Chains A and B, each alone.
Chain A
Amino acid sequence: MEVAYYPGCTLKANARNFEDSALFACEKLDIEIKELSRWNCCGTVFSLSTDDLIHHMAPVRNLIRVEENGSNRVMTLCAMCYNTLKRANERVKADPESLEKLNRVMYKEEVDYQGNVEVVHMLELLRDEIEFTNLASKVIKPLNNLKVACYYGCMLVRPEGIGFDDIENPSVLEDLIHVLEGQPVDFPFKTECCGAYQTVDKPDIIAERTDQIINSARNRGAEVMVMACPLCAFNLDHRQKITRQVYSGFRGMPVLYFSQLLALALGCGTETLKFDLHYFNPEPILKEKGLI
């Protein structure tokens, strides 16, 4: 299977561990990834006001790139890119007049956006096209009952019609972990917001959420937490540093991208998993489980 791929900014910087592990997994699963030859930042957030057309230009320009690359769909890894690209796409498809306006503003583009692109997340591809049952046969290193809390945050599941799973009780990550022979741990904060962009000027808000979300998973017995968003990962992993300063009893937990556990189970080595990019080092628990 061949698929066009939009990485987004953070996957080329702080979240190389996300990209490299996902690319490794895709190769093992015979998904041929074609990174767009050119792309720009999607804007990270979908503009919520009715008249703010200008902020949909960045995502729509990327959709032009997909068409230029001869594809009619594009895969993302980052939950925020996924949400922004998909919502902008649905918005202009539903409103041809605004699409025409945008195309007019982007008159220097060689082609107009036609509205023929579909935006998919890697987890959707794994679930719906590779299918988890087929994935099971490719597992080289089962996760040895590693207890995994699956954290979705906001942008994989909301709003209705954009998210690709149940809006209140998604299960795609648990299903994946199950196939990899890890042990998914249910906890009540899996779709609770980590505080997102508040991290820049109000890190104390993030410390409160991190304390709540990580503790809840710990109390249910989780050993690690997985996610699909580099902003969630920054907040729930790197912000553990200030969380520790504010909440004295906070013990923390390693935070991983789902793709890192997937790659690990498919035989990936630690150099590709890039644990040096983490705040809470996941290596001790993975060693304890005999996984690295």
Chain B
Amino acid sequence: MSERVDVSRTRIGDPFVLKIEELSGQNLLACYQCGKCSAGCPAVSEMDILPNQIIRYAQLGLTDELIRSKSIWVCASCLTCNARCPKGINIAEVIEALRQIQLRRRNDHIDIGKVKDPEMEELPPIALISSFRKFTS
């Protein structure tokens, strides 16, 4: 990103950031940006902001960027990032917190009624239920 980022004490102490910390139970400032989480993440090719960047953006209070990010919806909660983080940060929980913030504002990621996959009937219950649990409020 070549954009200039305005970082200030107010942004870092933003209630949105505190909410992420509360919902995820993670200390965002523990991250030292080693990048291991992104190195192991199988979904990075689909992401606009990588897992380590998600943590950095959250540290900096870049709330709009996080909320608009495509990444939070392509993460499959596989927990590889958590397993690899040398600082013991649960990145997947941070991403879940971001999804939850959106879902709790009734911003569902998928509309059950509009899932028109011709294979809808073939999808096993485990696929439908997990998708609805992750992507709808």
- A interface, CB within 8 angstroms of B: 8-10, 13-15, 41, 43-45, 47-52, 55, 78, 80, 154, 158-160, 167-168, 191-193, 195-203, 205, 208-209, 230-231, 234, 238
14 sampled A-B residue pairs with Cβ under 8 A: A9-B125, A47-B96, A49-B23, A49-B24, A49-B97, A51-B23, A158-B78, A158-B79, A196-B77, A198-B76, A199-B127, A200-B128, A201-B110, A201-B135
Contact of A49 among B45, B93, B110, B117 (CB under 8 A): B93
With A159-B83, A201-B115, A209-B42 known as contacts, the answer to whether A193 contacts B127 (CB < 8 A) is no
Min distance, Cβ A15 to any Cβ of chain B, angstroms:
7
Residue contact A159 to B133, C-beta cutoff 8 Å: no
Min distance, Cβ B122 to any Cβ of chain A, angstroms:
7
Residues of B close to A50: CB separation below 8 A? 22-25
User: In this complex, what residue of A is CB-closest to B133?
Assistant: A45
Q: Does B52 contact A (CB under 8 A)?
A: no
Please count how many residues in chain B sit with their CB below 8 Å of the partner chain's CB atoms.
39
Question: Which residues of B from 87 to 119 have beta carbons under 8 Å from A?
Answer: 90, 92-93, 96-97, 100, 109-110, 115, 117
Residues of A close to B80: CB separation below 8 A? 154, 158, 191-193
- Tell me the dominant secondary structure on chain B's binding face: helix
Residue contact A55 to B133, C-beta cutoff 8 Å: yes
Residues of B close to A159: CB separation below 8 A? 79, 82-83
Q: Does B5 contact A (CB under 8 A)?
A: no
Bound CA span A203–B79, Å: 20
Min distance, Cβ A103 to any Cβ of chain B, angstroms:
23
Bound CA span A44–B132, Å: 10
Q: Does B130 contact A (CB under 8 A)?
A: yes
- Tell me the dominant secondary structure on chain A's binding face: loop
Residue contact B115 to A43, C-beta cutoff 8 Å: no
Residue contact A231 to B126, C-beta cutoff 8 Å: yes
- B interface, CB within 8 angstroms of A: 22-25, 42-43, 45-46, 74, 76-80, 82-83, 90, 92-93, 96-97, 100, 109-110, 115, 117, 122-131, 133-135
Residue contact A9 to B129, C-beta cutoff 8 Å: yes
For the A-B complex with A50-B22, A191-B80, A193-B76 known, give 15 more contacts whose Cβ atoms are closer than 8 Å: A8-B126, A10-B125, A50-B23, A50-B24, A55-B133, A154-B78, A154-B80, A195-B43, A195-B76, A198-B74, A198-B131, A199-B131, A200-B117, A231-B124, A231-B127
Bound CA span A80–B79, Å: 13
Residues of B close to A44: CB separation below 8 A? 126, 129-130, 133
User: In this complex, what residue of A is CB-closest to B78?
Assistant: A193
Residue contact A199 to B129, C-beta cutoff 8 Å: no
